[in-house]
Every structure is written in structure tokens, then in C-alpha cells.
Amino acid sequence: MPSLRSLQTDVMNALLSGEAGPAAALIALGGAAASASPARRLEVYRNNVGANFIDSLHSSFPAVWRLVGEEYFRQVARDYHRENPSRSGDLLHVGRGFPAYLAKLHGADQYRYLADVARLEWLCEESLLAAEHAAMDLERLRGLAPSAYAALRFDVHPALRLFESPFPALRIWEANVAGDAEPEPIDLGAGSDCLAITRMRLKLTFHRLSRGEFNFLDSLRGGDDFSEAIERAGAGDDAFDAGAALRRFAAAEVIVDFSVPANPPSA
Amino acid sequence: MDERGEATMRPEPMPASAGIGLRAQHHLEVLSGAPRVGWFEAHSENYFADGGAHVEALMRIRARYPLSLHGVGLSLGSTDPWDRMHLEKLRRTIGRFDPALVSEHLSWSSVGGRFANDLLPLPYTEEALRHSSARIAEVQDYLGRQILIENVSSYLQFNASSLTEWEFIAGVAAESGCGILLDINNIFVAAHNHGFECHDYLQGIPRGAVQELHLAGHSRVEFEGAVLLIDTHGSPVCEAVWDLYGAALRRFGEVPTLIEWDTDIPAIQVLEAEADKANALRASLHAVAA
């Protein structure tokens, strides 16, 4: 009699490959459906496993589904599944590697925007599932001496994601994510994206960013203090205005908190 | 947050009136319409997120209705080490929503780090019985509460099995101290696919262990001239399953019952009507017994 471990291994191999293999010999026959063979019985499970995986990808990447069509999406999803079986009891995670997989497939052809749309969809999904956080207490900030600002560490909202693309990915996504109407054609040369994705209360929101603003938020979320973030933001963007950026992102609930260092450097 | 305090909190017991499976497309209707159902059951993994609209909606629904959390991804019967992250998220989710009941499936879905994300049947052997019982006991220790385990639908069984499914599930409950969530539709589906008597199954399950019943629809699929029943949860409960439900109520008494519907999800009123039907059947049996 096979051990439980070896039985499970044989069955999993049968479900994730196309072949029944040694699992077929483990399966009993009987019941009103006695004539259904072990291979057919395994196929019921294999179909379920594949369908659940593809449904999960579809729900994470609805715009990619619409852009490439159901048939091609299913084909790519099946190949992706074969190379990247689920590693978690929660199917939500299976889409994590899908944008990179699309980049590998289409990174050098006329569909190279697909991977960026997929990356945008995945970041939206992450943002929608992130923890809640209250808006920043501006009164507390106003109570500080201006000299204390440089050393402050600002916290960004847990739902903040930053996104860059040489394509108008957000416009492509918006045109394809919902609705039945045939989307208007979008010129791939019509602008690049530099975005903050976040959630205002429970709704996904997008903010278009200048180069300086992008670097500023990227620096803050990496743990740099205010002066370091300003320096990084200003390095590539002469027009960057730190005070305006702080006001904008506090109002938009992108920056949501700050901490005063325990021992401010004596400068 | 005081996790210890949350874990020892005693939620109110589940009412005997029927509940329905909560699906995200009904969140807003449940919150605005206050449907007349006794309770809701949510899939635990669907509320594992740190935050967001679904978590928020379930918080508000929980404030108005008793709740059961029903896991589909723990892979209880697997021979892999535990997915600690999954267990921790389950514990956090229980702490957040304070459910009256927590359940998982008596099945496995992973080995060697690869997940099928489906409810795969176990071989009904002494080894699998000991293994599953020990795993359930570990989960109960970790969560600090009893869980219920559900019998799954199955389309294959293993030559290695030396026990019937009902002997296996009764043995696991006795050894681990867990309760049983008996899915009446799954018994019907498995009985057809494997050729056993549904009533033998009911007789084999100890009376006191059953704390919840599930009802759902299934479909028939023809394979190589043979008909397999598939647990699709995409149609009303069929008459034969209602009959079997009556027999289960007579044997197990007034047990909280859930209507499940997961594919081609209908308007919530259709689910309410199914719950009404379960309530009417329970009331008629109760009236006869009284």
C-alpha cells in the first residue's frame, strides 16, 4: 500500500501534468459511474484545478483578458500555470508573476504594452487589499517648528503603489476594464504613465505624477527622511516644490502620518 | 489588539434557522436590504486581506448577522508542513469577525509546495485517519477553538481505502475532538459516484458531533456512457437531496443549515427562497416531533 505522501505526490503530478501516470493505478472503480475510467475521474479534478486557476487570473487581469480575447488568455494562462503552479492555499496570489510572464512572451513585439497593463492591474489589486489608514493629522504637523521638518519621516498609505510605463497604460486599462462597448483605439505613442495608485477610503484612485513627485514618494516609502526625499526629488526635476507636494499628497491621503525622530540631529 | 481576548470571546450560538453563503456580489444588497436569513457563511480566504472593501463589508454584515467562516484552502489532509502564513491569516480573520462557527474541509490540496486549490479526497486508511486527526488537533490548538470539518464531494476513491467515508469522518471527529459539518449534497453526490447508500452514511455519523448542515445543487455529467454527479453549486437543491435533508434533521435534530451557491450566482431572493424551504421543512418535522 502506498504511503499517504506518495499517493498525494502521484495525484498532484497527474493533476498538474497532462498524464495520469502512476496515479491511475491508485484509483478504485465502482458506483453507478463504474465505467468511468480512472483517467476520466482524474480529468474531472484536472479540469477543476485549471478552471479555478484561470478564473483567478481573469479576476485579477480583466483588462488583459479583454485586450487579448478569451481564447488567447486561456492559452497563455494554461502555459503560465504549467510553469508556475500555485504555491498557496489562497488563489489570489497566483497572478503575482503574470505581468513578468507576459513581458517574457511579448516584451519585444507590438504587444509589449500588455505586460505594463498587467502590472498596473496587479498593483490595483494589491492597493485594493491593503490595510486601511486614517488621513494625516495636519494640526499636529502645524504644531512643529519649521526647523524640525527636515528630519521628519513621513508614512505613505499602505495602499500606495507607484507605477511607470512608456505606454498610456492607465488609459488602456480604463478603456478595457469595464463596460461592453468596443473601446476607442488608443495611440500607444500618446504619452507615458507616471502614477500613484492608492485608495481614498475604499475606492481606487490615481494621481498623475511629475518625475520629482514620483521620486519624492518613492523615497518616502523607502524610509528616507523629508530632507533626503526632497533631495532625490529635486535631482531630476528642477520644478519640484516640496511644500506643494506635501500639501497635495496629504490632501489625497497618499501621505498619512509622520514621526519625529527621538534624537534630532543637532545641525 | 488583544488577540488572546478575542480568541476566548464567546460569540452567540448559531440560530437553527437557515443561513446562506455570502458572496461578494451580494454585499451591498445584504447591507441595504437586510434579507430575512438567519446567518451568513463566508469563505475565510476571501477576507484574508489587510483591508479594503470586502473586509469592510463583512465587518458591517457581521454587526447585523451571526457569521460562520468556512475555509477552502488550509489543506488539512496534506503531508506537507503547515503553511504558517495561511494559519496566521485564518487566526487573524477569526479574531476580526468573531464567527460562531469555523469550518474546514476533510481533504487535501497541496504536496511538495504545489497547490491544486481544489478539495481532493483522502484515502480512507488508518494512516490518513491518524494524520488528519493530528493536523486538526494542531489547528484547534493554534486557533484556540474547536473547528468543524466537512465531508467533500468526490469523483474518485482510492484502492488503498480500508474504511468507509463515514467511518473515516466519525473516527477523525472522535480522535481530534472536532465537530462535523455534514454536507447533504456531497453525501448524495459521492454515494452516486461510488455506489453506497446515503442512509448508511447518515447512520454512521454520531448524533452529537454534527453542528452544521450544507445544502447545494449539483449537476450531471456524462463520461464514457457513465453519469458522474459534479458538485457545481450552481442550481437549486434537488428533491432527492431535500428528502435526504429531512432524514438528516430527524437523525441530528435542529442543526443550523446553510444554502450554498457558487457558480451562476442568482439574485439573493432565490437564496432566501431556498432558505425558507429549509426552514419550512425543519418546522414541519419539529411540529411532528413535538
Query: What are the pLDDT digits (tens) for A18-55?
Result: 899 999 999 987 665 566 888 889 999 999 999 999 99
pLDDT band at residue B13 using 50, 70 and 90 as cut-offs: confident
CB B226 within 8 A of CB A44: no
CB B48 within 8 A of CB B77: no
Give the global pTM: 0.93
Mean pLDDT score across all residues of chain B: 93
- Residues B111, A228: Cα–Cα separation, whole Å: 47
Query: Cell 480522535 maps to which residue?
Result: B175
Instruction: Inform me whether the C-beta atom of residue B107 falls under 8 Å from chain A C-beta atoms.
Output: no
- Residues B47, B97: Cα–Cα separation, whole Å: 10
**Phi-psi sector, A138: left (phi>0), alpha (psi -120 to 50), beta:** alpha
Residue B257: all three cell numbers together: 443549515
| Distance between A202 CA and the closest CA of chain B, angstroms | 5
Q: Mean pLDDT throughout B254-270? A: 93
What is the reported pLDDT for B6? 42
Overall CATH class of domain B3-289? alpha beta
| Distance between B259 CA and the closest CA of chain A, angstroms | 21
What is the reported pLDDT for A33? 58
- Residues A23, A7: Cα–Cα separation, whole Å: 7
pLDDT band at residue B241 using 50, 70 and 90 as cut-offs: very high
Is a pLDDT exceeding 90 seen at residue A126?
yes
Residue A23: its chain B contacts at CB < 8 A? Answer: none
**In 3-state terms, what secondary structure has residue A201?**
coil
Chain CA centroid to CA A43, Å: 32
Residue B228: closest CA among B124, B154, B123: B154
Is a pLDDT exceeding 60 seen at residue B290?
no
ipTM tops 0.90: yes
| Bridge-based pairing state of the strands B108-111 and B114-120 | antiparallel
Query: What are the pLDDT digits (tens) for B192-230?
Result: 999 899 999 999 999 999 999 999 999 998 877 788 899
| Distance between A218 CA and the closest CA of chain B, angstroms | 22
Is a pLDDT exceeding 90 seen at residue A183?
no
Task: Please give the share of chain B, as a percent, with pLDDT higher than 70.
Answer: 95
What is the reported pLDDT for A265? 56
Is a pLDDT exceeding 90 seen at residue B33?
no
Query: Cell 490548538 maps to which residue?
Result: B141
Q: Mean pLDDT throughout A238-250? A: 95
CB pairs under 8 A between A and B: 163
Closest residue in A to B124 (Cα) is A4
Decide if A202 and B53 are in contact by the 8 Å CB cutoff. Answer: yes
Is a pLDDT exceeding 50 seen at residue B12?
yes
- A140-154, A251-265, B60-74, B209-223: which has the minimum mean pLDDT? A251-265
Is a pLDDT exceeding 50 seen at residue B103?
yes
Under 8 Å CB-to-CB from A203, ≥6 apart: which residues?
Answer: none
Residue B64: closest CA among B43, B90, B29, B39: B39
| Distance between A4 CA and the closest CA of chain B, angstroms | 7
CB A169 within 8 A of CB A163: yes
What is the reported pLDDT for B10? 52
- Residues B258, B41: Cα–Cα separation, whole Å: 8
What is the reported pLDDT for A34? 64
CB B33 within 8 A of CB B7: no
Residues of A numbered 190-249 whose beta carbons fall under 8 angstroms of chain B's beta carbons: which are they?
199, 202
Residue A33: its chain B contacts at CB < 8 A? Answer: 192-193, 223, 226-228
First to last CA, chain B: 46
Domains of chain A (ranges plus CATH)?
1-129 (no CATH), 133-267 (3.90.930)
What is the reported pLDDT for B266? 92
User: What's the Cα-to-Cα distance from A264 to each of A182, A259, B46, rounded to whole Å?
Assistant: 58, 11, 44
Instruction: Inform me whether the C-beta atom of residue B28 falls under 8 Å from chain A C-beta atoms.
Output: no
What is the reported pLDDT for A189? 75
Decide if A202 and B52 are in contact by the 8 Å CB cutoff. Answer: yes
| DSSP code, position A86 | B
Query: What are the pLDDT digits (tens) for B119-134?
Result: 999 999 999 999 999 9
CB B32 within 8 A of CB B54: no
| SS3 annotation, B71-132 | CCCCCCCCCCCCCHHHHHHHHHHHHHHCCCEEEEECCEEEECCEEEEEEECCCCCHHHHHHH
Q: How many CB atoms lie within 10 A of CB B111?
A: 23
DSSP secondary structure string for all residues of A148-178: GGGG-EEEEPTT-EEEEESS-HHHHHHHHSS
Q: Mean pLDDT throughout B256-280? A: 94
What is the reported pLDDT for B8? 42
Phi, psi of B116 (to 5 degrees): -85, -20
Interface test mutation site (partner B, options A29, A44, A161, max chain B beta carbons within 10 A): A44
Residues of B numbered 64-83 whose beta carbons fall under 8 angstroms of chain A's beta carbons: which are they?
72-75, 78-79, 83
DSSP secondary structure string for all residues of B224-274: TTEEEEE----SPPPHHHHHHHHHHHHHH-S--EEE---SS---HHHHHHH
Query: What are the pLDDT digits (tens) for B133-157?
Result: 999 999 999 999 999 999 999 999 9
CB B209 within 8 A of CB B269: no
Under 8 Å CB-to-CB from B140, ≥6 apart: which residues?
Answer: B146, B147, B176, B177, B178
- Residues B193, B154: Cα–Cα separation, whole Å: 8
Residue B73: its chain A contacts at CB < 8 A? Answer: 88-91
Mean pLDDT score across all residues of chain A: 92
Is a pLDDT exceeding 90 seen at residue B285?
no
CB A212 within 8 A of CB A236: yes
What is the reported pLDDT for B11? 60
Q: Where are the domains of chain B?
A: 3-289
pLDDT band at residue A262 using 50, 70 and 90 as cut-offs: confident
| Distance between B89 CA and the closest CA of chain A, angstroms | 11
What is the reported pLDDT for A30? 67
User: Out of B48, B78, B192, whose CB is closest to A8?
Assistant: B78
Decide if B228 and A33 are in contact by the 8 Å CB cutoff. Answer: yes
What is the reported pLDDT for A108? 82
Q: Mean pLDDT throughout B186-194? A: 94
Decide if B86 and A26 are in contact by the 8 Å CB cutoff. Answer: no
Amino acid in position A179: G
pLDDT band at residue B7 using 50, 70 and 90 as cut-offs: very low
